[in-house]
Chain A
Amino acid sequence: MEIEIQLTDRAIAETILPPGQPGAVGAWLEFRGVVRSEENGRTIRALEYEAYPEMAGREIRRLLQKISARHPCRAAKVIHRVGVIPAGETAIYVGVASPHRGEAIALLAEFMDRLKQDVPIWKRRAIADGARLCAEHQPQRPSNVQAAAAGSATTAALRSLDEARAEIRSRSRPLPAVRASLAEALGRVLRETICAPEDLPPVDRSTRDGYAIHADDASKTFSVVDTIHAADWKPRQLKTGEAVRVATGAALPCGALRVVMQEHIERDGDKLRVVRRENSTNVRLRGEEVRQGQPLVPAGTKLNAGALAILATVGNVNPLVSPRLRILHFTTGNEIVTPDQTPKPGQIRDSNSILIRGLLQNFPCDVEQGHLPENFEAAMLEIAARKPGIENADVLLVSGGASVGEKDFTRALLEQLGFEIVFSQINLRPGRPLIFGVNGPRVAFGLPGNPLSHFVCFHFAVAAALACLTGGEPPEFLRGQLGKKLDDKPCPRETLWPARWEWNAATPRLRPLAWASSGDITCLTAANALVRVPANCASLDDGAKVDFLPVAAMIGGG
C-alpha cells in the first residue's frame, strides 16, 4: 500500500486529491477530525496539540500496514496538524483509496480507533473562549493603547500616526504558536517562559586543576585516592587525609569540598603535601548560577543566539515559538519593469520588490512576490491562480502603482478579497495613502508606491504588525537629540524624516538626511532612523530633543 504521512503546524488544505491517475481506484474515502468548540462542557476557541513526531510517523505507518493486511487498500494519506488549532478547523485528515468501498471503510474505522490508542499525539490544552488565542503566552500590552484603539472612527477619517499604530497593534493578533527546533527558532518570539529544569551547575564543580579535599580537613599530608577528569562522574565520600585529583570543570565526588590548586602542593607518588591554602574554595557550587524552577528566558523574548544557547543548555530543544510568517507581496502598475530591463520613456524599474524583501530579512518569514496587471479582473485572476494561495498568507502587501490610481485599485482589491479596511489615509508625510485591512487573523497593507513611502510605512506600520503577529512587541520611538539643524517648510502633516543616528556619549544623536520628495531614495543607504517632526513645525534646531524610530538593521539586532 502506498502511504503518505504528514505532521504539520499549518492549516490542512480544503481539497486533497487521491494519489495516482484519476479513475485508478473505485473508492476514495476521506475523513476529517475537526476541533469542536466545546471541551468538557465549556466553550473553547482552540486546542493545542503536541506530537512526538519521530515516533508518531512510524506508528501511523505501522498501524496502516498492519490493518491493510486484513483490509487491502491501494493508498492511504494521513495528515495530522499540531500546534494551536482553532475550533472548526481540521486536526486530522485521512484519505484511503481502494478498488471497492468496503475495504476502505473498514481500514479507516479501525485505523482511527488505533490512532487514538497508540499514536503519540496529545491534546495539550484547551484555550477558552473569551481568552485571546494563546493569551497565556502573550506579553502585556499597555492599556492606553487598547483604549486608544477601542474608539473606532469611520474608515474615511484621516488617522494620526499614533492612532494608526494603536489600531495596527490592536487588530494584529498573535498567530498560534508552534514548536520549532532550536536551529529554526532564531529570530522567533518565545511564547512560553522557559524555567531551569534543574540546578545549574547540577553538581559542585572545580574551578581549578588541583586536589579536592574536605573543606575542613586540616591534615598536612594527603593520599591521592582517585582522579576525576572533566567528563567523569565518580561520587564517593572522602575520608580525612584523602584527596582526589580533579581537572578544571570536573564534577566533585561529594559536597563540602575545597580544591587546592596544583601550584600549592608538593606531590610525591600517591602522597601530597599542601604548601599553601587560599581563602577561596575554588568550587562552583551546585545551583550557584541558577536554581531549579527559576525563569531563564521569559515569554515574549525575541530569540537571539544567546537565548538559544540557554535553551540548549537546559535541553529545551523544541520551544513554543511564533510561526514563520507567510508573506505575499504584489507590485502593481504598468509602468514597472524588472530591474534588469532598460525602462522606456514613462517606465521605471521596480525597486520596491527588493526593498520589501530586504526589509523582511529581519523577520523569520517566507516571502512570495509577484506582479499584478492593472486590470482589476485580471489582477483577481492572477491572485486566485497563486500557489500557495492567498488563504495561506498571514500578511498581504500590495505596492501601489501610479498608473492604476493606486489607492482605489488596492482598496477595491483588498475589499474583494474579504479584508475589512481599518484605515486608508494617514496624516503623515511621506506615506499618506497607506491602507490597512484585516480579514480574520490575516492583515493587509496597501503601500503607497514611492520607495521612500515604502521605507517609512514599512517601519512604522508593517513592522509593528509583524511584531504583533509573532506575539512580540513592536519597535517603539526613542528619545534623541538632533546633531544638525533640520531645515523644513511648515507642513500641515506630521513627518517621519530619514536620519542617521549614532551614540554621542549616552544620547542618540541624529543627523537629518536630505530628501527632495517621496520618490527620493538617495538617502536610504545612510538612513537608520526616522525622526518625528510635528505638524506645522518649520524647522528644528541643532540640539533639539526629538522622538525617533530606529530602523533597518537595528530591528533584527534584538
Chain B
Amino acid sequence: MRVLFFAQLKDATGCNAVDLAAASPLNTPQLWTELLQRFPALAAHRPNVRLARNWEYAAPDAIFADNDEVALLPPVSGG
C-alpha cells in the first residue's frame, strides 16, 4: 500500500511517501507497528496524527488493504 506523509511528517521521515508491502490487510495498530519499525521518528508524532484511507479520515477500526492510499495527517492549519 502507498503511505503518504504530509507537513512535518515529511521532515520526520525524510520522504513524501513510501510503499508498504503487507502480506495481509492491516488494522490501525498493525499499520503503526510497520511504520514505526521503518520510521522510529514518527513515534513522537503518533498522538497527534490522524490516518486517512483513500482520501477520507479513517475510522479507528479501519482495515488498510494493499491497494489503499493511506495518508498520515498531522494537525491541519489551513485557512
Residues of A in contact with B (beta carbons under 8 Å apart): 33, 49-52, 54-56, 58-59, 80, 91-92, 112, 115-124, 195-198, 233, 292-293, 314-318
Chain A min CB distance to B43 (Å): 18
Q: Are A197 and B18 in contact (CB under 8 A)?
A: yes
User: Could you say which residues of chain B place their CB within 8 Å of the CB of A314?
Assistant: 15
Q: Are A315 and B79 in contact (CB under 8 A)?
A: no
Q: Which one of B4, B6, B71, B76 contacts A117 once the chains associate, using CB atoms below 8 Å?
A: B76
User: Could you say which residues of chain A place their CB within 8 Å of the CB of B56?
Assistant: 55, 58-59
Q: Give the distance in Å from the alpha carbon of A80 to the alpha carbon of B79 in the complex.
A: 7
Q: Are A33 and B79 in contact (CB under 8 A)?
A: yes
Closest 10 A-B residue pairs measured CB to CB? A121-B78, A197-B15, A122-B7, A55-B55, A123-B77, A315-B17, A197-B14, A33-B79, A116-B79, A54-B55
Q: Are B78 and A52 in contact (CB under 8 A)?
A: no
B16, B57, B73, B79: which has the most chain A beta carbons within 10 Å? B79
Q: How many A-B contacts at CB < 8 Å in the complex?
A: 79
18 new A-B contacts, CB < 8 A, other than A55-B71, A197-B14, A318-B16, are A49-B78, A50-B6, A52-B4, A55-B52, A58-B56, A59-B56, A92-B78, A112-B79, A115-B78, A115-B79, A120-B78, A121-B76, A122-B78, A197-B13, A197-B18, A198-B18, A293-B14, A317-B17
Chain A min CB distance to B45 (Å): 13
Sample of 27 A–B contacts (CB below 8 Å): A52-B4, A55-B52, A55-B55, A91-B79, A115-B78, A116-B76, A116-B77, A117-B76, A119-B76, A119-B78, A120-B52, A120-B71, A120-B76, A121-B76, A121-B77, A122-B6, A123-B77, A123-B78, A124-B7, A196-B14, A197-B13, A197-B18, A198-B15, A315-B16, A315-B17, A316-B16, A318-B16
Q: Give the distance in Å from the alpha carbon of A197 to the alpha carbon of B4 in the complex.
A: 13
Q: Are B16 and A52 in contact (CB under 8 A)?
A: no
- Name the residue of chain B whose CB is nearest to the CB of A319: B16
- Name the residue of chain B whose CB is nearest to the CB of A55: B55
User: Could you say which residues of chain B place their CB within 8 Å of the CB of A233?
Assistant: 21
Q: Which one of A52, A116, A118 contacts B71 once the chains associate, using CB atoms below 8 Å?
A: A52
**Which residues 41-79 of B have a CB within 8 angstroms of A?**
52, 55-57, 71, 73-74, 76-79
Q: Are B73 and A120 in contact (CB under 8 A)?
A: yes
Q: Give the distance in Å from the alpha carbon of A221 to the alpha carbon of B17 in the complex.
A: 44
Q: B34: CB under 8 A from chain A?
A: no
Q: Give the distance in Å from the alpha carbon of A163 to the alpha carbon of B15 in the complex.
A: 42
Q: Are B7 and A317 in contact (CB under 8 A)?
A: no
User: Could you say which residues of chain A place their CB within 8 Å of the CB of B6?
Assistant: 50, 52, 120, 122
Q: Give the distance in Å from the alpha carbon of A548 to the alpha carbon of B36 in the complex.
A: 55
Residues of B in contact with A (beta carbons under 8 Å apart): 4, 6-7, 13-19, 21, 52, 55-57, 71, 73-74, 76-79
User: Could you say which residues of chain A place their CB within 8 Å of the CB of B4?
Assistant: 52
Q: Give the distance in Å from the alpha carbon of A56 to the alpha carbon of B21 in the complex.
A: 26
Q: Give the distance in Å from the alpha carbon of A51 to the alpha carbon of B7 in the complex.
A: 9
Q: Give the distance in Å from the alpha carbon of A293 to the alpha carbon of B39 in the complex.
A: 13
Q: Give the distance in Å from the alpha carbon of A177 to the alpha carbon of B57 in the complex.
A: 29
Q: Are B14 and A122 in contact (CB under 8 A)?
A: no
Chain B min CB distance to A204 (Å): 16
Q: Are B15 and A315 in contact (CB under 8 A)?
A: yes
Chain A min CB distance to B14 (Å): 5
Whether A92 contacts B79 in the complex (CB less than 8 A), given A120-B52, A120-B71, comes out as yes
Q: Give the distance in Å from the alpha carbon of A293 to the alpha carbon of B52 in the complex.
A: 27
- Name the residue of chain B whose CB is nearest to the CB of A293: B14
Chain B min CB distance to A23 (Å): 31
Chain B min CB distance to A320 (Å): 10
Q: Give the distance in Å from the alpha carbon of A342 to the alpha carbon of B15 in the complex.
A: 59
Chain B min CB distance to A33 (Å): 5
Chain A min CB distance to B61 (Å): 20
User: Could you say which residues of chain A place their CB within 8 Å of the CB of B57?
Assistant: 118
Q: Are A121 and B73 in contact (CB under 8 A)?
A: no
Q: Give the distance in Å from the alpha carbon of A80 to the alpha carbon of B55 in the complex.
A: 18
User: Could you say which residues of chain B place their CB within 8 Å of the CB of A122?
Assistant: 6-7, 74, 76-78
Q: Give the distance in Å from the alpha carbon of A123 to the alpha carbon of B76 in the complex.
A: 8
Q: Are B76 and A195 in contact (CB under 8 A)?
A: no
User: Could you say which residues of chain A place their CB within 8 Å of the CB of B13?
Assistant: 197
Q: Are A116 and B78 in contact (CB under 8 A)?
A: yes
Q: Which one of B14, B17, B21 contacts A195 once the chains associate, using CB atoms below 8 Å?
A: B14
User: Could you say which residues of chain B place their CB within 8 Å of the CB of A316?
Assistant: 15-16
Whether A80 contacts B52 in the complex (CB less than 8 A), given A120-B71, A315-B16, A315-B18, comes out as no
- Name the residue of chain A whose CB is nearest to the CB of B17: A315
Q: Give the distance in Å from the alpha carbon of A292 to the alpha carbon of B39 in the complex.
A: 12
Q: Are A317 and B76 in contact (CB under 8 A)?
A: no
- Name the residue of chain B whose CB is nearest to the CB of A119: B78
Q: Give the distance in Å from the alpha carbon of A476 to the alpha carbon of B55 in the complex.
A: 47
- Name the residue of chain B whose CB is nearest to the CB of A116: B79
Q: Give the distance in Å from the alpha carbon of A383 to the alpha carbon of B66 in the complex.
A: 54
Q: Give the distance in Å from the alpha carbon of A237 to the alpha carbon of B51 in the complex.
A: 34
Q: Give the distance in Å from the alpha carbon of A292 to the alpha carbon of B41 in the complex.
A: 14
- Name the residue of chain B whose CB is nearest to the CB of A94: B79
User: Could you say which residues of chain B place their CB within 8 Å of the CB of A121?
Assistant: 76-79
A55, A56, A58, A314: which has the most chain B beta carbons within 10 Å? A55
Q: Give the distance in Å from the alpha carbon of A196 to the alpha carbon of B7 in the complex.
A: 18
Q: Give the distance in Å from the alpha carbon of A52 to the alpha carbon of B57 in the complex.
A: 12
Chain B min CB distance to A538 (Å): 59
Q: Give the distance in Å from the alpha carbon of A296 to the alpha carbon of B73 in the complex.
A: 26
User: Could you say which residues of chain B place their CB within 8 Å of the CB of A318?
Assistant: 16
Q: Give the distance in Å from the alpha carbon of A171 to the alpha carbon of B10 in the complex.
A: 33
Chain B min CB distance to A9 (Å): 14
User: Could you say which residues of chain B place their CB within 8 Å of the CB of A118?
Assistant: 57, 76
Q: Which one of B14, B16, B52, B78 contacts A51 once the chains associate, using CB atoms below 8 Å?
A: B78
